[in-house]
Structure 1
Amino acid sequence: MRPLIPICSFCLRRVGGVIETSPSSAAPVDVVLPCLDEAEALPWVLGRIPSGWRAIVVDNGSVDNSPDIARALGAHVVHEPRRGFGAACHAGLTAATADIVCFCDCDASLDPALLPAVGGPVLDGSADLVLGRRRPVTRRAWPLHARLANLELARLIRRRTGLRLHDLGPMRAARRQSLLALDLTDRRSGYPLQMVVRAADAGWRVAETDVPYRPRTGRSKVTGTWRGTWHAVRDMRAVLAERPVTDPVSAATTPGTGR
């Protein structure tokens, strides 16, 4: 695992696991956490958010008190009634106000304390989009069918975009305005892939950094079954079939190039 990259110092402290922010300063990074029935994982996840960063928990129809738990722990809670991973992620992106936005799963499989290593290259200008490449710490962390699907997607991404990625990791970071300019439209499992594909089409510098991947709390809503994995692959194949965007407006979304 690569060393954490320090970002900056912030006006924030933690008291008893509750995030307290200083009213005199805005959060430098917003962390979008799509959430569907993650009451068990939320206390640990929110307790690991880097100091000074704002957690945006996007509730996607939970019935287990997740929104109340997140709010009590100091997170900003957004409600997205449309079911879908992409719908929740995009609702969080539009609710964000910080220049840099990170995304992270809310099931305790990924440690938010490692987000500075993901967001650092975006902040220092050496990358436009950084993905956390998942490195399972146990076999139980990543079921065989999910790993096989991920390998196939990496191959398809390479063929479609030329990017030699190893993982379509859910932990990622980019600049908010640049992400909005990509005009992402998928609201299901294809959202993270569409972000990568459109970023590549726009000439973004895309990078990976290793992050440990642990067994999640509860059961995955997407890849916990063969059927769920198949639906995810189907959504992503539809994204890969999209024609590259070549209009002048989209070409102007390349961060840091002056285009």
Structure 2
Amino acid sequence: MPNNPPIIDVIIPANNEEQSIGHVVREIPGIVRSIVVVNNNSTDTTAEVARQAGAEVVDEPIKGYGRACLRGIAYLLNKETPPGILVFLDGDYSDYPGELEKVVAPIIHQNVDLVIGSRELGIKEPGAMTFPQVFGNWLSTRLMFVFYGVKYSDLGPFRAIKWEKLQILNMVDQNFGWTIEMQIKAAKHGLQYREIPVNYKKRIGTSKVSGTVKGTFMAGYKIILTIFKYL
């Protein structure tokens, strides 16, 4: 790390992740200032478990992945000193939180603006990603290349971005289009981006998106819609 390392904060959207959220929070490296778990309409003990593990918990009662991320950002805006880098990852323990240091490294050492942790470039546990997820990533990243000229292999949720650049993007999506909105807007604003390999394992519990036919369809529909929205 440099002599004056940037402040790093983490946002974790979480909907009914009481079995996994404690593992995620405890395994995040100590280089971060704040771990913000956004309790997104959970009906279990997600908030309590997250607090016990050491996270700061804020509530977003209306369900929505993007909405939860936006609530976490609003919470950090009220801190006296904003972060220099903001990291997003999921609360289902499918990511490896200990890889956070390598996710932020290109920003710290190479002045990159946005880093996407690519599951396609890393090692995936068999069955960790469903066929619709794999196909959706393939199709979405190729459409982004065709229409926006950027080369991605994944829409992975484990990502890091400079705080000042995030403000420029003016993120608005409140649901499944959040990740691809960020990547498209980064391209339109000329942000320097990098993909790095991250490993991926089967999540704890059932996915709210890929675990149901409706969730898979709605996520795919929203992602494709977002791609054409910003043309």
With structure 2 as the length reference, what TM-score do the two structures score?
0.91
Residues 136 and 142 in structure 1, CA contact (< 8 A), matched pair in contact too: no
Amino acid in the other structure paired with 2:65: F
> 1:103 aligned to 2:78?
no
- The structural deviation recorded for 1:126 is 3.1
Identical residues among aligned pairs (%): 32
Count of residue pairs the alignment pairs up: 223
Larger-gyration structure (1/2): 1
Residues 149 and 229 in structure 1, CA contact (< 8 A), matched pair in contact too: no
Amino acid in the other structure paired with 2:38: V
Rate the CA distance shift 1:180–1:109 in 2: closer, same or farther, 3 A.
same
In structure 1, distance between residues paired with 2:31 and 2:125: 31
Equivalent residue for 1:84, pick from 64, 67, 74:
64
Deviation by residue 1:55-96 (Cα, 9 ceiling, x = unmatched): 110010111111011112211111112211000111112222
Residue number in structure 2 paired with 1:49: 28
In structure 1, distance between residues paired with 2:20 and 2:129: 18
Amino acid in the other structure paired with 1:116: E
Give matches, 1:215-254, under 5 Å: 215-244=202-231
Amino acid in the other structure paired with 1:48: E
In structure 2, distance between residues paired with 1:148 and 1:209: 20
In structure 2, distance between residues paired with 1:210 and 1:116: 12
Residue number in structure 1 paired with 2:130: 143
Residue number in structure 2 paired with 1:113: 98
In structure 2, distance between residues paired with 1:9 and 1:177: 17
In structure 2, distance between residues paired with 1:58 and 1:122: 24
Judging by fraction of residues, say which structure has more helix. 2
With structure 1 as the length reference, what TM-score do the two structures score?
0.81
Unpaired runs of 5+ residues, structure 2, are 77-81
In structure 2, distance between residues paired with 1:182 and 1:114: 25
Deviates most, 91-100 or 179-188:
91-100
In structure 2, distance between residues paired with 1:188 and 1:42: 20
In structure 1, distance between residues paired with 2:16 and 2:230: 36
Deviation by residue 1:182-206 (Cα, 9 ceiling, x = unmatched): 1111101001110100010000111
Q: What is the root-mean-square deviation in Å for CA atoms of aligned residues?
A: 1.8
Residue number in structure 2 paired with 1:255: none
